[in-house]
Amino acid sequence: MIRAGCKDMEIMKTACVARNTVKSIRSELEESNNDYEKVVERKKGKRRSDFLRTPEFVEKLQKKVQEDPSKSCTKLAEELGVGNTTVRVCINEDLRYHFYKHRKGQILTEKAQENRFNKALKLLNKLKPPVHNETLWFFSDEKNFTQDQKHNSQNNRCCVRNPTRCHCRPDQVPGRRDCVRHHQLRR
């Protein structure tokens, strides 16, 4: 409409925009020598002056996480002097790391597996049809197999891209070292 030579008031009423918008577009066209592509192009936003997620910050955070993947976001934020949310967003979006928890598993050494197999065979033999018809079956809630529950998986997490590379605190995590992503456990 500006190219057609319409006045500001006509454009304002037809396009239903404010008069200042029409004036600013007209002045931008005059400054760019009627280069419409330049005026229509989206303008790049400016970063805030206190923007923290710079490439240097991301690199520093990545080094800290690689040094100790079991360190919490709160501790990392304290060390770096930034907010907790900044660290969490940077870990998820910039580094694409996720927190994984160690799954609780049973310690099954060869001796324990052999013992379990023998007990299972005995149990199967007991469940065969009884010799006497008046045999009473009795089951107890006795603990037959030992499970290791000394560690708290809530506090034992690691921050990595791939859960197979999760190796934080292996001395404190007996048994299996399977890891599962943190948000999968919350369902």
Q: Hey, where are the domains in the chain?
A: 8-40, 55-105+153-184
How confident is the model over 49-90, as pLDDT tens digits?
Answer: 778 889 999 999 999 999 988 888 999 999 999 999 999 999
How confident is the model over 17-42, as pLDDT tens digits?
Answer: 898 888 888 888 888 887 777 777 77
For residue 171, is pLDDT > 80? no
Higher-confidence position of 94 and 32: 94
Strands of 66-181, DSSP E: 98-102, 157-160, 179-181
Three-state DSSP state, 5: coil
Q: In whole angstroms, what separates CA 11 from the centre of its chain?
A: 50
Enter the pTM of the model. 0.47
For residue 106, is pLDDT > 80? no
For residue 181, is pLDDT > 70? no
| Residue with the two structure tokens 């057609």 | 4
What would the mean pLDDT of 178-183 be, rounded to a whole number? 53
Q: How many CB atoms lie within 10 A of CB 148?
A: 13
What would the mean pLDDT of 113-125 be, rounded to a whole number? 89
- Of the ranges 30-34, 121-125, 153-157, which one carries the lowest mean pLDDT score? 153-157
Higher-confidence position of 103 and 11: 11
Q: How many CB atoms lie within 10 A of CB 43?
A: 5
Query: Residue 6 carries which DSSP code?
Result: -
| Residue with the two structure tokens 């506090």 | 155
For residue 139, is pLDDT > 70? no
Query: Among residues of the chain, what percentage have pLDDT more than 70?
Result: 72
Predicted local distance difference test score (pLDDT) of residue 47: 74
User: Nearest-5° angle of CA 70, CA 74, CA 78?
Assistant: 110
Look at phi and psi of residue 95 and say left if phi exceeds 0, alpha if psi is from -120 to 50, else beta: alpha
What would the mean pLDDT of 3-7 be, rounded to a whole number? 76
Predicted local distance difference test score (pLDDT) of residue 77: 94
For residue 135, is pLDDT > 60? yes
The DSSP element (H or E) to which 95 belongs, if any, is none
Predicted local distance difference test score (pLDDT) of residue 184: 47
> Which CATH number does 55-105+153-184 carry?
1.10.10
